[in-house]
Structure formats: C-alpha cells, structure tokens
C-alpha cells in the first residue's frame, strides 16, 4: 500500500473518530476504490467498478460515504451543466476545467495567477475559502479541427 493512500486513510479515520462515526469496512473499501484510480467518477461508475470486483455495496451507502468524504475534503464534487454529479479525489489542489460542449471532454488547466487572485478575493470579501472550481465551457482543439474539415468538405 502506498504512502499517499495511508495518509488519506489516516485522515479519514481521524475525521470519523472526531465526529464519533463508525469505522465500517464499507467506508474504507469505498475510499480505497476511489483512490485506486485517478480522474473523475460518478456514483454509477463507482458502483459498477465495485460490483465488478464482487464487492457488494448499495447506492445508499455510496451516497452516504461520499457525503462524509466531501465533508472531510478528501473528495470533491462537480456538477457540470446537463450532467449528473461527478466526483474526484481531492489531492489535486486545482480544479480548473476546460469542458468541451461538443464532445464533453474535460481537460484540466493550471495558472499560477489564480492563487493570487483567490488570496485577494478572500481578503477583499472577508471570505474563508475552502474550495474553488473554475469551469470554462467552449470548443476543444479536436472539435475545432473536425468542424474545419467539415466546412472544407462541403465547399
């Protein structure tokens, strides 16, 4: 088991103990599964992945546990337009997403200036910042290419 996962588990355990919640095998199995893969997932795909491994969990427990993982900030929740909720492990501090409205592909981006902007904003509005998500919608590289080809062909 790798080091990162251990730390995450310890954080989760600390959170559960602090709140007086139970440390059930299901909760750890779910955390384990989430941290076994990078990238986004939905409740549905998580349910499928665990079912495929013959680990039986109910959706109710998945929702319940995700709620806990959100609270202790080990998981982050995204709700894109016109899509069901997506989740992602919270190890990446940045959540800047380019979302293509044609092919639904999601690409992450980073820019150092954002950290400064956040700091200024927090101070200016006296707002204690916990999380931030930036969603930029538009048309990605690939789809732009496809559209261009289409236009050329129709000439």
Partner DNA sequence: ATAGCTGCAAAGGTTTTGCAGATGA
Partner DNA sequence: TCATCTGCAAAACCTTTGCAGCTAT
Q: Compute the half-sphere exposure of residue 36: CA atoms within 13 Å on the CB side of its CA.
A: 10
Near its own copies in 71-100, by CB under 8 A: 77-82, 85, 98, 100
Q: How far is the CB of 23 from its own copies (least distance, A)?
A: 25
Would you say 46 or 50 has its CB closer to its own copies?
46
Q: How far is the CB of 110 from its own copies (least distance, A)?
A: 9
In the block, residue with structure tokens 């909720």: 85
Would you say 50 or 75 has its CB closer to its own copies?
75
CA dihedral of 47, 53, 54, 56, whole degrees rounded to 10: -30
Would you say 23 or 134 has its CB closer to its own copies?
134
Near DNA in 35-94, by CB under 7 A: 42-44, 56-61, 63-65, 67, 82, 84-85
d(CA 155, CA 148): 11
- Please choose, from the candidates 135, 129, 117, 136, the residue with its C-alpha nearest in 3D space to the C-alpha of residue 78: 135
Residue ranges that bind its own copies, judged by CB under 8 A: 77-82, 85, 98, 100-101, 107, 109, 111, 113-114, 116-118, 120-122, 124-141, 144
């Amino acid at each position: 088991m790798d080091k990162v996962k251990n730390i995450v588990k310890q954080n989760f355990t600390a959170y559960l103990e602090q709140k007086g919640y139970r440390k059930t095998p299901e909760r750890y199995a779910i955390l384990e599964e989430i941290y076994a893969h990078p990238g986004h997932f939905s409740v549905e795909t998580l349910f499928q992945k665990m079912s495929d491994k013959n680990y039986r969990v109910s959706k109710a427990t998945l929702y319940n546990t995700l709620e806990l993982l959100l609270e202790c900030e080990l998981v982050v929740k995204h709700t894109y337009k016109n899509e069901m909720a997506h989740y992602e492990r919270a190890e990446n501090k940045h959540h800047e997403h380019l979302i293509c409205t044609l092919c639904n592909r999601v690409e992450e981006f980073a820019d150092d200036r954002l950290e400064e902007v956040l700091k200024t904003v927090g101070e200016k509005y006296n707002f204690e910042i916990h999380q931030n998500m930036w969603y930029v919608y538009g048309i990605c590289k690939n789809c732009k290419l496809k559209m261009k080809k289409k236009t050329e062909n129709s000439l």
